[in-house]
Structure 1
Amino acid sequence: MLVLDIDGTLLKSNFKIDRTTKEAIEYVKEKGVYVTLATGRNFPSAQKIAKALKLDSILITHNGAFVASSVDEPFYEQRMSAENVLKVVQILEKYDAHIRLLHERYSIGNQVQQKSQLVAKMTMGIGDPLFYPVTFTEQLSDHLKEKPMTVPKIDVQFFDNEERANAFKELTERIEEIRITSSTRCAFEIIDKSVSKAKALNILARHLGVSRKEIVAVGDYTNDLEMIHHAGLGVAMGNSPNELKHAADWVTRSNNQNGVSYMVREVFRKQMKLQIEEPLEY
């Protein structure tokens, strides 16, 4: 089983997938390897990437909070409660931050005055707006009081590092039921405390009858850390922070150097015959 993160892993910095990466994924699929995506992105956005790669797999999205091959029939989901969503938003509204509530069908964000590359990074790759509408409201907490929401994930981008640190401290001290991670696209990715990519991967692997030692997982940031630990072979991208590289079993090239296709060439092509006949001992 091959599990791939999207941003900073599959995608280059220009948000495109290289031809060699597509060919590498097609190669492992033809050899009987189950290939899926594990991402912080919303489900429609991840599904769009999956279609580009000709994958019809069950996808791990929203950092493990929404696992599905169809938005209508999730295989597994774990949402933040409406009460905690409101609490998080009320705290974040004290700070200069762009907040995005990521439902599996749509997104609601607060209006921000600043035009920033940070907000642009959050907006990139949200999926086709026709199928994943994004709306904005001036005061998110007022909206939630009128229309409570349970969501798989909340994305937050800050414009000041000190505000980010203060918000992290307040959120973690006041709301025990949440987990805060981050990715190359987003400063805060807030999910229910019970959620992680690693847990979702374990649930999916058991469903497919794949053992832990048969899993190769590839990621690039701290929201991939537990998944890298969990896999039989955890691979960090060359553009990963040192924390992830040290946790990984193997480090490939960066996303801009086609690290996924390089990993497939070095790991799968050289060892595929053995892996098919007998699961590898990593």
Structure 2
Amino acid sequence: MKNQLLICDLDGTLLDANGKVDHDSLEKIKKFCEDGGHFVICTGRMDSDIQYVEQQLGFKGEFRISQNGAVIKNAKEETVFFESIPSEYIASLNQAIFGMNLRTEVSTLENRLFPSPRDPENVAEFIDTSIVIKNLPDYVLQHAGKATIYLTFGTTNEFTTIKERIEKNLGKDKVGIVQTSPSSLEVFSAKVSKGNAVSFIMEKLAVSRKNVYVAGDAESDVSMFHLTDHAYAVREAHSDIIEQAGHYQKTVGHIVDEIYVNVKGV
């Protein structure tokens, strides 16, 4: 398996609705790695959460892709890729986003910055890296060049207004703007995507597209799908995601089975 690369999203892909890896997938991924396969987690979560999951899995990948491709670290804990939002955009983004008076959080390389404490019941991270900043807009402006993601909570109509405000201030396609759920919107560098991050990993590992397998379940994963003919939607992925992937398997373990069939014919 030494020339095979498996790229895997976390939530809704490797992890089920309860944040757990099914035993079958765990054992098959372990064997894949023991047989020389390259396994890389690619998620919107912080890098600290990938490390937590890897500890539970019992092995460490050569690379970790976090924050939907804004950050890539290697097994030596070195940051090999980091893409922040251009510093010259921060003032305009602050006005467009914070001006809506919605709850907005901002991520940096290592932390999530909050405008106020959150309800402990809403903590979704495995490792809490949050820091509460009293005047978050001013802090982000003073530390321009460090922000990777603005995460805002609201409604689809409010998100439409935010997008319009950003495009009025900066112009179209200057930053990436993605509604990641019915109640959340992310804004990040236009250079950032999971697809770009996976391309970076493919080059580093010298793996060709015919040997790359990607697994995801959401819109943020679609940018990976065009990099290979082995793109899979999994678990509860919506029909449009399955259509864009081209393949479907119930779990990542089933994808590993297909890798062995394709490579060894067994």
TM-score in terms of structure 1 length: 0.82
Q: Distance in 2 between matches of 1:185 and 1:55?
A: 33
Are 1:60 and 2:57 matched, yes or no? no
User: What secondary structure is seen at the aligned counterpart in 1 of 2:207?
Assistant: coil
Are 1:83 and 2:88 matched, yes or no? yes
Q: Specify whether residues 166 and 225 from structure 1 end up closer, same or farther in structure 2 by C-alpha distance, changes over 3 A only.
A: same
Write the mapping of 1:27-66 to structure 2, written as runs, cut at 5 A.
27-53=31-57, 54-66=59-71
Partner residue in 2 for 1:213: 210
CA deviation vs aligned residue, 1:170-208 (integer Å, no higher than 9, x gap): 224433421022445972222211111111111111111
Are 1:108 and 2:113 matched, yes or no? yes
Q: Distance in 2 between matches of 1:269 and 1:147?
A: 48
Runs of 4+ in 1 over 6 A off after TM superposition: none
Write the mapping of 1:214-229 to structure 2, written as runs, cut at 5 A.
214-229=211-226
CA deviation vs aligned residue, 1:50-77 (integer Å, no higher than 9, x gap): 2322123211111111111268621122
CA deviation vs aligned residue, 1:79-110 (integer Å, no higher than 9, x gap): 11233234323211232532221112222122
User: What secondary structure is seen at the aligned counterpart in 2 of 1:108?
Assistant: strand
User: What secondary structure is seen at the aligned counterpart in 1 of 2:21?
Assistant: coil
Residue 23 (structure 1) aligned to one of 16, 19, 27: 27
Higher mean C-alpha deviation, range 171-180 or range 222-231: 171-180
Are 1:245 and 2:210 matched, yes or no? no
Shift of 1:139: 3.4
User: What secondary structure is seen at the aligned counterpart in 1 of 2:150?
Assistant: strand
Aligned residues: 259
Partner residue in 2 for 1:261: 253
Q: Specify whether residues 186 and 224 from structure 1 end up closer, same or farther in structure 2 by C-alpha distance, changes over 3 A only.
A: farther
Partner residue in 2 for 1:97: 102
Letter in 2 for 1:79: S
Partner residue in 2 for 1:137: 133
Shift of 1:242: 2.6
User: What secondary structure is seen at the aligned counterpart in 2 of 1:150?
Assistant: coil
| Structure 1: stretches of 5+ with no match in the other structure | 254-258, 276-282
Partner residue in 2 for 1:197: 194
CA deviation vs aligned residue, 1:9-39 (integer Å, no higher than 9, x gap): 1111111222222112112112321000111
Q: Distance in 1 between matches of 2:67 and 2:198?
A: 13
Partner residue in 1 for 2:124: 124
How large is the Cα RMSD of the aligned pairs? 2.6
| Structure that is richer in strand per residue | 2
Shift of 1:161: 2.7
Are 1:164 and 2:159 matched, yes or no? yes
Aligned residues of 2:84 and 2:145 also touching (Cα < 8 A) = no
Aligned residues of 1:155 and 1:186 also touching (Cα < 8 A) = no
Aligned residues of 1:79 and 1:151 also touching (Cα < 8 A) = yes
Q: Specify whether residues 231 and 32 from structure 1 end up closer, same or farther in structure 2 by C-alpha distance, changes over 3 A only.
A: same
Shift of 1:153: 2.3
Partner residue in 2 for 1:256: none
Q: Distance in 2 between matches of 1:57 and 1:186?
A: 34
Q: Specify whether residues 156 and 105 from structure 1 end up closer, same or farther in structure 2 by C-alpha distance, changes over 3 A only.
A: same
Aligned residues of 1:38 and 1:60 also touching (Cα < 8 A) = yes
Aligned residues of 2:104 and 2:114 also touching (Cα < 8 A) = yes
